């Protein structure tokens, strides 16, 4: 027989973002490094791929002046 324990925790959105952002950045960086290792320094994105769509959205937002780009140091905290 197993026991189920339920824990509920309320976290303010700002705090949750502060906790998740570094984790997500690390995951994305590790995945990109893995892809580059497997495929070499070149990889191809197809228009139906979510990353392609994200990159298109970033480009459009940049053209509209609705994006703020950060330095590598700011992004990776290194």
Residue 27 has pLDDT above 70, yes or no: yes
- Tokens, residue 50: 């979510």
Instruction: Give the span between the Cα atoms of 47 and 53, in whole angstroms.
Output: 7
pLDDT of residue 36: 78
pLDDT of residue 78: 60
Q: How far is CA 43 from CA 9, 15, 22, 60, in A?
A: 41, 35, 25, 22
Digit-coded pLDDT (tens) for 40-75: 767 678 888 888 888 888 889 889 988 777 788 887
pTM for this structure? 0.42
Each domain of the chain, given as residue ranges in start order, spans 13-67
Q: Within 7-71, where are the H helices?
A: 13-39, 50-63
Instruction: Give the span between the Cα atoms of 27 and 65, in whole angstroms.
Output: 28
Mean of the per-residue pLDDT values of the chain: 82
Residue 2 has pLDDT above 80, yes or no: no
């Amino acid at each position: 027989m197993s026991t189920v324990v339920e824990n509920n925790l309320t976290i303010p959105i700002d705090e949750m973002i502060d906790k998740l952002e570094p984790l997500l950045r690390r995951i994305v960086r590790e995945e990109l490094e893995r892809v580059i290792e497997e495929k070499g320094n070149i990889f191809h994105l197809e228009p139906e791929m979510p990353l392609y769509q994200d990159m298109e959205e970033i480009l459009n937002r940049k053209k509209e002046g609705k994006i703020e780009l950060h330095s590598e140091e700011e992004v990776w905290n290194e």
